[in-house]
Amino acid sequence: MVSAIRFFVPEPVPVCVPEIGLGHGLGHAHGHELSRGSLRGRIHDQRPREEQTERHVSMKHLTRVLTHRKPRPITIIVMDGIGFREDTPGNAVAEAYTPHLDWLLAHCPHTLLKAHGTAVGLPSDDDMGNSEVGHNAIGAGRLYPQGARLVNEAIASGRIFQGKTWANLVQYCRAHNGTLHFIGLFSDGNVHSNLPHLKIMIERAALVEKLPKARIHILLDGRDVGETSALDYVLPFESFLSGLNAEAGVDYRIASGGGRMKVTMDRYEADWDMVELGWKTHVAAEGRAFKSAREAIETYRLENPGTIDQDLPPFVVADDSGPVGPIRDGDSVIFFNFRGDRAIEITRAFEEPDFDKFERRPNPRAAYAGMMEYDTELHVPKSYLVEPPCIERTMGEILSHHGVRQLAVSETQKYGHVTYFWNGNRSGKFDEELEEYEEIHSDRVPFEQRPWMKAAEITDRVVEAIQSSRFDLIRVNFPNGDMVGHTGVFQATRVAVETVDLCIGRIIPAVEKVGGILLVTADHGNAEEMFELDEKTGKVKRNEKGAPKAKTAHTLNPVWLIVYDPVETDGVHLNPEVREPGLTNIAATCFQLLGLEPPDFYDPPLLIFEDR
């Protein structure tokens, strides 16, 4: 017998926010029903601002830790890639039918959190957020310099070239008359890599180290940058190499490539075939040959109209003598991505002596290094150019020391984010008895074809865990908004957002039944900005056919934090003293709700409570 699933049925959304809604609110009502796109309009607390402020000042017996009761569990939902944006063109979040999210925003304390740039440790506020730094920030509870910023600092100071790793790679090439190879994501998206980093290393190799031969293996982006922007990077880079070859008398060329979602950059062991195909392409130089990267890209686009850069097939560059850049004994290899999740598997293929995921033919004796240490617990890779941030005393670790029982759950695509990245780039658990991590295996199909992904199965597990009374804190990631958003398919992304809302509608009554508390947030934006926008006019860019140009990258938009307490609906308030909240404030907020004093080295918590 199949048991009935209980959904939360929201009441009609009122025209104005109740008194407890002191944050930034969205939603509106049309008569007595919620309509599609009900997030389009912003709800304002219509009382004067002075009156709202006075409410905080006049409230008696406020406390910053919830001590008069112990709601369990605290459930944190990370709606991956679902951010907030006022404008509606290309906004799959605003256009989606989201009655449960609408209701929460109309009835619960909520605010907007900064989730990009300096607020998550990136170099500037022009840098979009991403899932890695977002989950680092949530789990760490305070700010740490992140990938691109660390590499920038290492390059500016010269440390990257003064360390033993760079020296060893150069010396290995010299000693064996070998070639220096660079493999990585070929764009300036600044999420996994940054093209200027690659160019600086290449210039150093040619002009200072005077290595005569280098080969570059390019993984095309179309995800963190424009979806068909590959030639915007390839053509200037070819000119850069031509000039450098003439100036330094060296032989530096692009040797192979392919779309990032086709070769090499798999993560969480979802598809080792991608990595094997990358090995065949970069190392063995096997595959369809072209005279140049430009010819490969242009040919594939003609043969496969509408295919975006991340999905282009692999290619090998060859001349009259054959492939120009196989990796051989005596060569050195640098994987120049600074972000770890999509770098670990190819790194393992190069480094593990007993590697068994596929047969490595050939398996050259090459020196290998990554831009950074991608896994600080397992020490992958063994050699790296830039020291990673040392993230210690994360919320997961400290809560384990307090005896807090924790569950982390997501599907494969974001399982590592809600575990490894949440824990400060650390593999494994802090306490085997207190923690459970559960991975729901993702489907291996294009995300736009299954925009619901494994959200239902994730929700099944979360609802069961809430009702079991076995956990004090549950953290869950729904990948839909991000993974489907990256496809650039607006309709599928709208369905993805609606899927997450439907799952929230199942989780709310479970939280109500046990008297827990629900936090709803996100790690960065994506789905709310699905069309490319003109920076000057703000209008949607259009292609030659007049259709909107799809945007597949993350955004600079904030994300929500919503606090739903079904027991004391008017006893939880936002702290007005926290003026510019960000993702790093979430950890201390969880401590508050668990009845624990937040660590004094964490960024301040976001709530205050009426002491009853």
Q: What is the pLDDT of residue 296?
A: 98
- Does pTM top 0.95 for this prediction? no
Positive or negative, the CA dihedral 455, 396, 135, 77 is positive
Please report the pLDDT score of residue 537 as a whole number. Answer: 86
pLDDT 10s digits, 552-573: 889 999 999 999 999 998 889 9
3-state SS assignment for residue 2 = coil
**Torsion, CA 448, CA 491, CA 259, CA 379, rounded to 10:** -70
Instruction: Please report the domains of the chain, with CATH numbers, ordered by start residue.
Output: 49-144+391-610 (3.40.720.10), 147-386 (3.40.1450.10)
In contact, 260 and 184? CB cutoff 8 Å: no
The answer to whether residue 377 scores a pLDDT higher than 80 is no
pLDDT digits (tens, 9 = 90+) for 480-502: 999 999 999 999 999 999 999 99
Complete edge-to-edge strand list for the sheet that includes strand 559-564 = 110-113, 559-564, 517-521, 74-79, 473-478, 406-411, 435-440
Report pLDDT digits (tens) over 163-209: 999 999 999 999 999 999 999 999 999 889 999 999 999 999 999 99
Q: 551 vs 117, 226, 539, CA distance in Å? A: 19, 7, 13
Are residues 418 and 476 in contact, defined by beta-carbon separation less than 8 angstroms? yes
Buried b (16+ CB within 10 A) or exposed e, 578-612: beebbbbbbbbbbbbbbbbebeeebbbbbbbbeee
Work out whether the CA dihedral 398, 402, 403, 407 comes out positive or negative.
Answer: negative
User: Residue 340: pLDDT band by 50, 70, 90 thresholds?
Assistant: confident
pLDDT for 9: 57
Buried-state track 83-99, b at ≥16 Cβ within 10 A, e below 16: bbbeeeebbbbbbbbbb
HEC profile for 362-390? CCCCCEEEEEECCECCCCECCCEEECCCC
Catalytic residue annotation: 131
Alpha helix segments (H runs only) across 426-543: 455-468, 480-485, 490-514
Please tell me the predicted confidence (pLDDT) of residue 535. 77
The pLDDT value given to residue 60 = 55
* Least confident residue range of 20-29, 187-196, 516-525: 20-29
Alpha-carbon separation of residue 124 from 111, 149, 582 (angstroms)? 23, 9, 15
Contact call for residues 191 and 554 (beta carbons, < 8 A) = yes
Q: Tell me which of 239 and 427 has the higher pLDDT.
A: 239
